[in-house]
Amino acid sequence: MRIALINPPASRRYVQARDEPLQLEYLAASVRDRADVWLVDAFGLDLSTAETLDVLAETKPDVVGVSLNFAASSRPSLDILRGVREALPEATTLLGGNTATFRARDLCLDPAVDAVVVGEADLTFPEIVDALAVGSPLDGVPGLCIERQGRAVTTKDRPLVENLDALPFPARDLLPLGETYTRSVLTARGCSYGCIYCSATAFWRRRTRIRSVDGILAEVATLVRDKAAYFSFADDCFTIRPERAMAVCDGLAAMGGETAWSCTGRIETISPELLERMAATGCRMIFFGVESGSPRILARLKRRYTPKRVEEVYAMCLAHGIVPSFSFIVGLPFEEPQDVAATFELIRRLEGVECGVHMLTPFPGTPIADKPNDFELTIAPHRAEDLDINTRSFIDTPFADRERTQQNFYDGMGLAMGTVRRKRRFLEHYRPRPGHEPVIA
């Protein structure tokens, strides 16, 4: 059996970095013992839909799986499967990923789609391959949404993987030009924070599952052996459990080597002790989703920190040689003009580092998309592929219509680009003593 797993192109390129398609590498590892598997990273290699179809025409796979994680890839994903249906009518076509999961009942009705994998695919995909190998219908495979007699039908529920250490390491060797990618290590799956603009909590069923420290370090060791100079911990929040993050750092220290790494963190979880340990083992960058500079809005978002604390974490990171980056959202529920002004003021104070400003966007599976009335939001009609945090607003709030939000976005991005060029003036008068937390004047 020949299998092609596709990371599709997007209507708009939302990131410039070339990160490995980690979930597809996991799936490739799960079936490589029973099939020939190709990974086609159309997004990472800037392949068009037509070029992706040319690759598939040459390889003639029996199974084509497309990872529809991001809404901006909705149209290209379907266009690829429609092209496969025309050129390779006997091939089995599959969709999976975050966006596919929350649009499964619509997507499975497209004639080009044989099945949509709902949620985590690590257990479901090998069972699909086994069923196809013996000619069994997919109706008996749990975790799918399929079309039957013109209706969307879901098969038996698929439980989450309980033991992440039981999964094989990602099949990085199957990724063409793999040496040109930033390597990623997933130390946990899930997010318990439940942010209103994010679907991760729903996708992972409000659970967080943690890999063992030994399992994490064993995978990092393979990257060190491959002489990877840099990698990222790709969790939704690497520092969600600070004691576990410290244990990983202790293991990295014992391992030795010169590999640098980055991660995503939460302001609430950061301490000088944690940053010291992270910096000593190669951490060079931490991304924080701060979202607002208004104490009132942060409280509405159930954030357990203040703008003052954001500044303190900013200073602590830089003092330890770690570059922080921050993201903010405009158009948030209940956000008034003075709240936007407070966000812009915080950005001004985060000198010399990258601050991203984005528009609140109703992605499938997010609380704001599912229950907009709960947040006093009016969402304009749209297609999934049009949703983008940096292009166009689709949300009216009581205090800002779409046009106002877009203008706030433009103003915020201009401010952020100016701020990143400014010298970090606080360093002129702040020199930390070991073990002392910085205080911002």
The CA-CA-CA angle for residues 279, 280, 286, to 5°, reads: 15
**pLDDT for 13 beyond 70:** no
Please give the Cα distance from 131 to 147 (Å, whole number). Answer: 17
Name the CA radius of gyration of the chain, rounded. 23
For residue 408, the model assigns a pLDDT of: 97
| Rounded mean pLDDT, 215-240 | 94
At 189, which helix (H) or strand (E)? strand 188-189
For residue 433, the model assigns a pLDDT of: 40
In 102-165 the beta strands, taken as DSSP E runs, fall at 115-117, 144-148, 151-154
**pLDDT for 35 beyond 60:** yes
| Strand ranges across the sheet with 183-185 | 183-185, 230-233, 260-265, 283-291, 323-330, 355-359
**pLDDT for 6 beyond 70:** yes
Please give the Cα distance from 312 to 64 (Å, whole number). Answer: 49
Pairing of strands 2-7, 36-41: parallel
pLDDT band for 423, please (50, 70, 90 cuts). low
**pLDDT for 14 beyond 60:** no
Within this chain, domains 2-154 and 182-428 share the same CATH topology: no
CA atoms within 13 A on the CB side of 234: 13
Identity of the amino acid at 231: F
**pLDDT for 16 beyond 70:** no
Assess if CATH 3.80.30.20 describes domain 182-428: yes
Pairing of strands 395-396, 355-359: unpaired
Residue 23 tokens, joined? 């979930």
pTM: 0.92
* CATH code of the domain made up of 2-154: 3.40.50.2300
Please give the Cα distance from 315 to 309 (Å, whole number). Answer: 10
Identity of the amino acid at 367: P
Please provide the average confidence, as pLDDT, over all residues in the chain: 93
What are the sequence ranges of the domains in the chain?
2-154, 182-428
3-state secondary structure 13-66: CCCCCCECCHHHHHHHHHHCCCCEEEEEECCCCCCCHHHHHHHHHHHCCCEEEE
Residue 398 tokens, joined? 């009581």
Please give the Cα distance from 156 to 174 (Å, whole number). Answer: 31
- The 10s digit of each residue's pLDDT in 119-162 is 999 999 999 999 999 999 999 999 999 999 999 999 999 999 99
Q: Return the closest-CA partner of residue 249 out of 312, 322, 354, 155.
A: 322
